Every structure is written in C-alpha cells, then in structure tokens.
Structure 1
Amino acid sequence: MPTHAQGDSIKLLTFNLWGLKYVSKQRRERIVAFARKLRSQPDYDVVALQEIWTDEDWKSIVDLCQEVYPYTRRYSSGILTGPGLAILSKVPIRRTFLYRFPVNGTPTAFYRGDWYVGKSVAVTLLEPPYEGASPVALLNSHMHAPYALTGSSAYACVRACQAWDIASVAQTYSEAGYAVILVGDLNSRPGSLPYRIMQSEAGLTDSWEEIHGPTDSDKLRQMSPEDQIKLGGATCDSTLNTWRADRGPDEACRLDYALIDNTRLRALDASVQFTEKIPGIGSYSDHFAYSATFEVLATSNMLPSRPPKSERLQLYQELTDLVAEYLASRNSWQSRLLLWHFWVSAFVFIAFLAVIVVVSFLAPWASILFLFFGGLVLATGLLSGQIGFLFCRSERRAMTEIILQVADAARLLQDS
C-alpha cells in the first residue's frame, strides 16, 4: 500500500485532460500516456482531473494507476454525460459530494455542450495527514467556458453565478473546520469577477501568488513563452502547447488554480507541469497541468480573512448589476424568441394541414411532403417552446436566487 502525504504536507496536481470524445485529437493515446507517466513518477499525493468524459478513459487511468493511487472517484451526475471531474488519491477519502450549478449556459448552445455535461463542483473530503491536523476538503471544478473575451459568448454572468455558488460551498466547509482547497480549470483569469468572488467570499488565496507574487497580466503578455509558463503560471493557450500553437503569444493565460484557505494551509511550492511532449503525438492536453504543495496546519477555529467591507459591498453591486443586466436583456430576449418560434411553428403546421387536404385531391404524393415538413416545423417549435417556457424560467429563477443571496450577504455586512 503506497504511503500518502509525507509528514504534514500534501502535493497536488490538477489537470484538464481534454477528453472530448470524437473531438479531442489523439485523446486515447494522450490519456494513456498521462496515466503511464503518473504511475512511473508517482510524485503527487492527490490528482484532480477535469474533462474525463468517457468510461474507457477513466478505466485506463484507474487500471494503470491503481497500485499507486488506491483511492479513486469519478463524478457522474449530468444530463448527457457527467461533469468530467475525477480524483486519484493516496490519501484515504472520507466522503464525497457533488453540487451541480443551477446556472450553466443554455441548451440551445448544443454545439458547445457545457449545459449538457452538467458543470459542477465535486467535493472530496480527505483524511487529515497527521493526528491533530485539519481535515481537508478538496473542491474540484470545471466552470463554464468563455468562447469570446466579451459579449454573450463570453458567458461572464454564468461564471460569476457559478463562482458565487463555489464560494458558498467553500465557506460552508471552512466554517466546519476543513482546510479548503479549490482546484480545477476555473475558466477565469486572475482579477476577473469570478476570481475575485471566490477570493472575497470564500476567503481563499491563490497558491501561485502565495509563492510567486501577484499576477501582472500586462507583463505576462510581454514575456517569452517559456517565461509565461515558468514565471507567469500560464496553463492555457501557450504557443508551446502543440494543440494551441496557432494562438498569439499574448493569448497565454492562467486558468487552472489551487485556491486555498491560508489559515489551515501554507503553500510551499507551485509550478506548471506536464509541459513536455509525448513523442510522436504532442502535448498531453490543450492545457498544461498545475501542481502545488501545501503544509496542512493544525486544527484551528480561525476563519479566512475577508477584504474590507467597502470592497465586498462593491463586489456585491458588480455581481448584482451583471446578473440583472443579463436577465433584462439576454434571458428575456431568448425567452421571447423561443416562444415566438413555437407559436409561428404551430400556426404553420395548422396551415399545412389545410394545404394537405387540398393537395391530396390534386397530387396525393405531394401531401406526404407537406406532412413531413409540417411535422418537422412543429417538432422544432415544440422544442423551442419547452426551452423557452421551462429552461428560461428556470434560469431566471436561479439567477434571481443569486441576487437575493447577494442582497442577504450585503445586508448582513452592512449591519455588522
């Protein structure tokens, strides 16, 4: 049986393995190569993975690594697939829990798929590394992707709502005495609203910045690709990644994190890993991995520090304004458009029925075509009606709930 965390420290790896079936290039070869390297160089105590979406890939990882990582868990809940979140651990797992985000994109963006996989935060409670140490709550998440820097395709409001939910989950475990570590592909750059929400509301600090200092986005863009990784912690869109070599040198960014409760954890080291290439294939993923080592401190009743009251209230207002603007524009517009499509489709189908009666006397074969196309129009209209009536209302209520929660937090803060 392999030993876990040496002494009072835990070494962690988080990695988005780009495991989209039929889409990700050389997926099987890359994931098997990753598992083999993990087995041959078992440097990590805990490995958190994202984008493990096929049973075949997960079985390969478990089969190859089971002698080194006896404790494993892949999270399942989703619509068409699970959220792609998984964990390998030398540290015994006490309990697991999955929280699916109520706000998670839209089913009309089927070509993107975020809504269908059920983006979530997976909670894994680990045994303390030594007697008297704080128990560890590992939160692994893969937030909704941005498909543009600005505009509706940026899904900024969606990720801000998800960040609020993550912060609430993290705060709950922190108040229960757990040493919280939030890891994963959070699809949010340092300094963005979701990033600030997770830091402010959960009281989490960025382990990379604990070791390397604050992130300067302007300096990062001016660095060489090598320094962007070594000094800036860039895990995504690096030109040194074979699957992202067509990106501009200034597009490299840091999206993969380990945010920690620094009252119960102390960051000892932080680095970008798996930057080398698999011979004959290329990079291990379209992301690089992120590794951090933490000292787990003794059990403490201290709570993570929060920013000043004025800064938190300003953050609340920024989040409320963003959600309110989304509801007033995109949600309402999308709902009206989908319901309009439903009513037009129903009218067209009824009109086709009259046409079919007339045509059946003149050209019976043509009535079959009208019936087919009329049925197709009605089917798409019914689908739009369901999405407009059910999904848009559900999204509106979920976002309204976020606004109410933020208002509660603001009221409590003002009264304190």
Structure 2
Amino acid sequence: MQSDAQQLSVLSLNCWGLKFVSKQRQFRLRAIGDAVSQQEYDIVTLQELWVSQDYEYIKSRVADNLPYSKYFYSGALGSGLAIFSRYPIISSSYLRYSLAGRPLKIFHGDFYVGKGCGSACIEHPTIGILEVFTTHLHAGYGKIDEYEGHRVSESWELANLLRTSAAQGRQVIATGDFNSIPTSYNYALLKDHAFMTDSWLETHESSLEESMRQFQQNQIHGRDCIHHFGITCDSPENSWSKHFLKQQARDKNIGDRLDYIFYRRTPELSCISSNVAFTDFIANTHMCYSDHFAVHSIFSCQSNASAMGNNIAPQCSQLTRPTFSRISPIIVRDIINLLHRDHVATRRKANILLGWLVTCVFLILALYAVMIVVPIYYASDDRREMIATILAVFGGFLMILCAAAAPICLIVGFVCGHTEQRALQQFVVELRTFLSGLPNNDGLAAQRNVNPHSSRDLITVDSPQFNLRHPSTEESEPLLMNV
C-alpha cells in the first residue's frame, strides 16, 4: 500500500446549486458536503456552487480532511467554482473567458456569472507544485447550439493556460463540467494542444470495445452503462434528469460524458483508476445529489521518477514553442470556420438590434410630434379633451416602451455586439497565426511512438449517443474562409 502522499485522490462534481432554480438545493448541497467529509479525498473541485452559504457549509464540513479552500468570485452572480485541498494552497487565480454568454439571454445566465477558470497552486509533499484548474464551460441550451463558438474560444484560452502552467514545470490537473462530448473540438484542443490526458478514458480504453459489444447485444443496460461508458449527465438513472423513468432500461439513449478530470501525465504523476461517483441516491430519499454525476480519479505520485512509457506529456521546454502541438490542421481550420460563422451570425443580430434602435428613436419623435399636433388640430372640436387623454395614455405608454428599449438595443447591439464580434475576430487571428506555423503532426506523433489517429484517440462506435471518440481528422479538408 502506498503512503498517503504517494497517492492523490481527486473528485470533481457539478453541484447544480442555482438559487431559486435548482430543486432541493440546500438539502442536496448539505448532503454533498456530508458525503465528501466522510471520504478521504485529497482534492475536491465543485462547479455550480453559486450560493456562498452553501460553500461555507461544505467548507466547515470538510475542514478536517480538506482544510485549504478557494472560492472564486466573478461576474454579477459569481463563478460557482471552488477548490478544496488537503495540502496547502500557496496561490490562486481566476481567468475570465473573453466570450461567455449574451446579455439578452437572461434565463441562460452565463453572461452574468463571468464564466472562467479558477486555479490553485498546491504544495504537494511528493511532486512539488501541483496546479489544479476547475472550470464550467458554456452550456448548449436546446437543440440548436448557438454557443458552440463561445465554448471553443473558452477551450482555446484554457488550453493555452494549461500549456503555460506546464511550461513552468508544474504538475497540472484540469477538472470540471466542460459541456463537451469527446467528439468535440473542445476535447481535441485540451488533449492534442494542451497535451492533457483524459483520466477516465486512460483507465477504461482497453475495455471500451468489449463494453460496446455487450451493450449492442443488450447484455448491459441501465446503471451499468454509467460506469462502462463514463456517463455523467442526462442519464436516465439520475432522478433530476429529463429522461428519468421516461424510457425503457435498454433504450439506447443513455446520456453523455460531459465531466472530466484531465491531467498532464508525467513520470511523477500517473492515473491509477478513475470512475463515475455520486451515482447513488441521498440516504433515505429517492433523489440524486445533483443532475450530474461526479468523476473520481486516483493518481500515483512519485518523486524524482524516471521517464516511462510512450504517453508521457512533452517536456516543459518543448511547450515554450507555441506551435508545438498534436492537433490536426484540419481541426484548426474547422474551428476557424466555426468562429467565422459565429462572427457572421453575431453581426447579423447586432445589426437587427441597431435597426430596432433607429425604429425606437423614430417612433419617439413621431409620437412626440403627434401628441403636439393632434390636440392643436382638434382645438375647436368637442372631442378635444378625450383625444388628448387617449394620446397621453397610449402615446405616453408607447414612448416609455421605446425609451426603455432604445438604450438596451444600443448597449446590447452596439457595445456587447461589437465586443463579441471583435473577440471572435481576435480568436480567428490567433488561430490563423497558429495554423501558419503549425508543423507536421507526424513528427510529434512519432515522439510518442503511436499513430496520430490511433485507437487511443479514435474509439469507433456505431451508436452516436456514446460520443466516445475524438473528432475525425480524416474527413475532407473544408474551405478556409477569410475573415
């Protein structure tokens, strides 16, 4: 048995702790704090911990095992991110993403929480400085994902942040709700550009094909799928899922894997095991702890270890070169095209709002003129007072509406709209600059002695619901749009 300092137990959970919105919030958050306090975790990262009283309660409950903690403040409502640690936190920081929601999408809320990534540098007795990141990327909302560009830009910023930390010689762990399936560009950026390892996939890749075969033959179903395929969200076994008890146990829609614990695999830090946690009901209830399940990974920590295997992350000195990357140029071009489409859509929405601004100003002037001219025109008419009253009531009401709408259209259409457009342009410029200096991927693949599109990165499955593989880089190359 390894000593405590030679193993690192990490838990990541989206708590679903929105005030006034999340059902049974206070009861569930207290149950989460109680459950965490009864386990021997070394690091716990939580997302959607929006209410400070919930954070204070969990902090007090886990203080014996996790005496160090950081709560990250951002936006009008807070980031909802927190990190708890057994070992001393010697510094912390927060990066607010450049693109994270739109102000008129009030019920989405992402714009008002200042989405970003919190990090804490932890002094570990065996491996030295360990920087732990936690984030909650933008959600999709609905069947049409209008925020894919935002999520890609967030992943690009996060990937570069992880590279910078690794280049400083730190051990790196990145956790959170990434709202991204393993076929997404976001996942590719984190794995192939930030050189992070998916701890759950690393420990389950050898059994995935067999699990898939059993699933297709209806030999596994229901709760078994959670652990066989790492399902963390929208599981029919989750009491808060929209699918709960609405399908047969062998329905192919089993949920998605959206929550991850990534890490920089080094001779000093390697993953021993990883599993989906917090899948049971809260004691004496029929409700789950959250609408997400947790991810729990255990790592081996070795001091002064020698290099091992072919899957070790690149050396720190290699990461100082910005174009040192495994990501495919085709994926980079796809991302540029995606951001270009978002730029066009954003400009169109901004122009519509500016058009409404002009309309509101015109209506205000027109109504003002009518309210002056009409009473004068009917000065000798017996209905003058009635007409003046009607104009004052209805005309005044319309003027108030237009006067209220005009500044909103100005701020959201011009200020926020142009800010989003320029942010998208900046990301396109960065990616095109990166693409122009991107070396041939084959050389980097050879350094880890595997094919750049090996089964480790491309786990082929027939059922699209699983989304267990990387985005294919063998598709035809798309036209690179000019921005």
Residue in structure 1 matching 2:360, options 329, 345, 358 = 345
Match of 1:75 in 2: 72
SS at match of 2:333: helix
Q: How many residues align?
A: 405
Match of 2:481 in 1: none
8 Å CA contact 1:200–1:307 kept in 2: the answer is no
Match of 2:370 in 1: 355
The runs of 5 or more residues in structure 2 that have no matched partner are 306-313, 376-383, 444-483
Match of 2:19 in 1: 21
Residue in structure 1 matching 2:134, options 129, 140, 159 = 140
SS at match of 2:10: strand
- Within-5 A mapping of 1:186-265: 186-213=178-205, 223-244=220-241, 245=244, 249=251, 250-263=253-266, 264-265=268-269
8 Å CA contact 2:323–2:439 kept in 1: the answer is no
C-alpha root-mean-square deviation of aligned residues, in Å?
Answer: 2.6
8 Å CA contact 1:129–1:296 kept in 2: the answer is no
8 Å CA contact 1:134–1:177 kept in 2: the answer is no
Deviations, residues 240-271 of structure 1 (Å, cap 9, x unaligned) = 11011156541411111011111252001101
> What is the distance in 1 between the residues matched to 2:411 and 2:27?
40
Matching residue's letter, 2:27: E
Residue in structure 2 matching 1:127, options 119, 123, 135 = 123
Residue in structure 1 matching 2:395, options 356, 370, 373 = 370
> What is the distance in 1 between the residues matched to 2:214 and 2:85?
33
8 Å CA contact 1:237–1:253 kept in 2: the answer is yes
Q: Cα 1:380–1:6, aligned 2, differ >3 Å: closer, same or farther?
A: same
SS at match of 2:437: helix
> What is the distance in 2 between the residues matched to 1:107 and 1:201?
31
8 Å CA contact 1:273–1:290 kept in 2: the answer is yes
Match of 2:417 in 1: 392
8 Å CA contact 1:134–1:297 kept in 2: the answer is no
> What is the distance in 2 between the residues matched to 1:63 and 1:358?
69
**CA shift at 1:298, angstroms?**
3.7
Residue in structure 2 matching 1:292, options 297, 306, 309 = 297
SS at match of 1:339: helix
Match of 2:287 in 1: 282
**CA shift at 1:74, angstroms?**
0.8
> What is the distance in 2 between the residues matched to 1:157 and 1:265?
33
Match of 1:61 in 2: 58
**CA shift at 1:324, angstroms?**
1.0
8 Å CA contact 2:324–2:439 kept in 1: the answer is no
1:324 aligns with 2:340: yes
8 Å CA contact 1:238–1:253 kept in 2: the answer is yes
> Which shows bigger deviation, 372-381 or 212-221?
212-221
**CA shift at 1:221, angstroms?**
7.7
8 Å CA contact 1:236–1:287 kept in 2: the answer is yes
Q: Cα 1:162–1:220, aligned 2, differ >3 Å: closer, same or farther?
A: farther
> What is the distance in 2 between the residues matched to 1:218 and 1:253?
15
Match of 1:46 in 2: 43
Runs ≥4 residues deviating over 6 A? 214-221, 304-310
Deviations, residues 66-85 of structure 1 (Å, cap 9, x unaligned) = 2332111110111x211100
8 Å CA contact 1:237–1:287 kept in 2: the answer is yes
Q: Cα 1:54–1:308, aligned 2, differ >3 Å: closer, same or farther?
A: closer
SS at match of 2:438: helix
Bigger radius of gyration among the two: 2
Percent identity over paired residues: 29
The runs of 5 or more residues in structure 1 that have no matched partner are none
> What is the distance in 2 between the residues matched to 1:162 and 1:20?
22
More helix by share: 1
Matching residue's letter, 1:125: C
TM-score using structure 1 length: 0.91
8 Å CA contact 1:277–1:284 kept in 2: the answer is yes
SS at match of 2:125: coil
Match of 2:331 in 1: 315
> What is the distance in 1 between the residues matched to 2:83 and 2:115?
16
Matching residue's letter, 2:156: W
Matching residue's letter, 2:26: R
**CA shift at 1:339, angstroms?**
0.5
TM-score using structure 2 length: 0.78
